[in-house]
Homo-oligomer: A and B are copies of this chain.
Amino acid sequence: MAEKSSSTQVPVDFGILVFPTFQALDAFGPLDALNMLSKDFPMNLSIIARTLDPVSTKHRDTSLNPFGSNFAESVVPTHDFNSAPPLGSDDLDPMIDFVKRTYPSLKYIFTVCTGSWIAARSGILDGRRATSNKSAWGDTKTVGPNVKWVSHARWVVDGNIWTASGVSAGLDAVFAFIQEVYGAEQAKKIAADLEYERHEDPSWDPFAEMYNLPKEGI
């Protein structure tokens, strides 16, 4: 998510929302590309979470960790939700509120994987084209009944809303974003630095086919 910048044509202030159980690559794939970009442009990153406590990828639902693995990484937030309610049974609620409240001031919003569920639940995707990961497509449609979900897409852009498909798709989408906003040369340079072979066609999506999804929203 890139916050509106006042005087430059490219975004300056970026924020990423992280929550316990987040998927590491969802965050660090795109962030790594943006870390590189920040060498060539003035950019600031806020890592935003409900509290300033380190946020772990670890699942708390033990049914998702049947072997009792202790295998997780924690990232350090730089900001909290500021006015996050002190109570609440659903950790996502403050995040959804935050998206709803903040979106009007944003230049862009960028989601990866089920990040689009949070955007959908905030209402900002209503009437918009968007995508999400492909292994939970039925849930995606339930979460956002008023969203024009695109089933076969590596990523989707509708206005200033960028939604990427599952996990790794965030990398292709962030390179498309860099290309769009910073130019093709920047995207090419960073992909070369990261030795990353991009998928440049947003309709490339073998995973939609793998999960036998009907063609929707196209």
**Which residues of A are in contact with B by a Cβ distance under 8 Å?**
14, 23-25, 27-29, 31-35, 38-45, 47, 54, 57, 59, 64-76, 133-135, 165-169, 171, 192-197, 199, 206-207, 210
Contact = CB atoms under 8 A, between A and B. Distances in A.
B74 A45 contact: no
A75 B72 contact: no
Number of copies: 2
Contacts of A31: 24, 73
A35 B195 contact: no
B29 A25 contact: yes
Contact of A69 (B38, B69, B71, B192): B38
Given A25-B32, A28-B25, A32-B167, A193 B69 contact: no
A195 B41 contact: no
